[in-house]
């Protein structure tokens, strides 16, 4: 989980809220809205448009596990980072700063399913959020794809989101493996100089899947030239 820079709420979304005075997410349409329908006093907005804005912010990655996502209502979920069902968060239901885009979290995997991300979080609060500087400072990764909490809050967040299930560990491990080793057997690490070059290159373009795990591994090699697998 990496820090996501939250931008200002879309003007048309805020105009729609003032016009509609929505009470639930059922008041928000699902299909794209044509510009011709925006004329006059009636204000329209859709979940499709909201997903587009969130996708751009998150650079097409799930706000929790960092898998690649797209604007598809069957494979992504508009998530309330702090759950709307919590009585203390009722004022955040339509607050853009509390919205994120999560993957489906394994809900469509073959049974037996083990859910993760929002599908695991559901109505629980998480101590660390993708919009906090703390998430990158208190969460680390190992070479074999495990995600590690450095603080009690980080451990609790990882547990609530179920980010250390085998599926995600294997995906992160595969993403790391192909970058930090010089051989197919995983015996020869790249040099610290090579790690620096790759890190700089990855940091200057749109992020790839599981980018946080990849960058943390490269940073450890940059500092020491070696990496403890455990």
User: What is the pLDDT confidence band of residue 226, given thresholds at 50, 70 and 90?
Assistant: low
Distance CA 63, CA 61 (A): 6
Q: Which of 103, 105, 125 shows the shortest CA–CA distance to 115?
A: 105
Mean pLDDT along residues 79-93: 74
Residue 218: inside a domain = yes
Task: Give the model's pLDDT for residue 80.
Answer: 92
**Residues β-bridged to residue 115:** none
pLDDT in tens, 156-211: 999 999 999 999 999 999 999 989 998 888 888 899 999 999 999 997 778 899 99
Task: Give the model's pLDDT for residue 106.
Answer: 92
Share of the chain above pLDDT 70, in %: 90
Residue 24: inside a domain = yes
Distance CA 214, CA 230 (A): 16
Per-residue buried b or exposed e for 14-52, using 16+ beta carbons within 10 Å of the residue's own CB: eebbeeeeeeeeeebeeeebeeeeeeeeebbbbbbbbbe
The answer, yes or no, to whether residue 99 has pLDDT greater than 80, is: yes
Residue 4: inside a domain = no
The answer, yes or no, to whether residue 154 has pLDDT greater than 80, is: yes
Print the domain residue range for 186.
11-224
Residue 2: inside a domain = no
* Number of domains making up the chain: 1
Residue 103: inside a domain = yes
Phi, psi torsion values for 102, nearest 5 degrees: -110, 150
Q: What is the pTM of this model?
A: 0.89
Distance CA 42, CA 22 (A): 14
Residue 140: inside a domain = yes
Beta carbons within 8 Å of 68's beta carbon, 6+ residues apart: 60, 61, 62, 209
Task: Give the model's pLDDT for residue 185.
Answer: 80
Residue 203: inside a domain = yes
The answer, yes or no, to whether residue 5 has pLDDT greater than 80, is: yes
Q: Which of 202, 222, 224, 192 shows the shortest CA–CA distance to 66?
A: 202
Residue 156: inside a domain = yes
């Amino acid at each position: 989980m990496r820090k996501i820079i939250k931008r200002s709420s879309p003007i048309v979304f805020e105009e729609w809220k003032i016009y509609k005075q929505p009470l639930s997410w059922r008041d928000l349409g699902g299909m794209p809205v044509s510009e011709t329908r925006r004329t006059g006093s009636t204000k329209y907005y859709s979940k499709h448009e909201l997903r587009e804005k969130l996708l751009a912010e998150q650079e097409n990655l799930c706000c929790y596990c960092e898998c690649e996502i797209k604007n598809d209502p069957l494979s992504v979920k508009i998530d309330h980072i702090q759950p709307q069902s919590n009585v203390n968060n009722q004022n955040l239901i339509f607050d853009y700063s509390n919205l994120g885009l999560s993957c489906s979290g394994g809900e469509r995997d073959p049974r037996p399913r083990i859910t993760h991300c929002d599908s695991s979080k559901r109505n629980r609060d998480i101590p660390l959020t993708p919009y906090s500087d703390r998430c990158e400072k208190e969460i680390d990764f190992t070479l074999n794809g495990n995600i590690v909490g450095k603080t009690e809050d980080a451990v609790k967040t990882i547990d609530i989101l179920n980010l250390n299930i085998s599926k995600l560990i294997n995906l992160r491990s595969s993403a790391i493996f192909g970058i930090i080793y010089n051989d197919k057997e995983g015996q020869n690490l790249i040099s610290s100089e090579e790690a620096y070059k790759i890190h700089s290159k990855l940091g200057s373009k749109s992020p790839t899947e599981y980018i946080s795990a990849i960058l943390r591994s490269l940073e450890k090699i940059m500092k020491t030239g070696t990496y403890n697998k455990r």
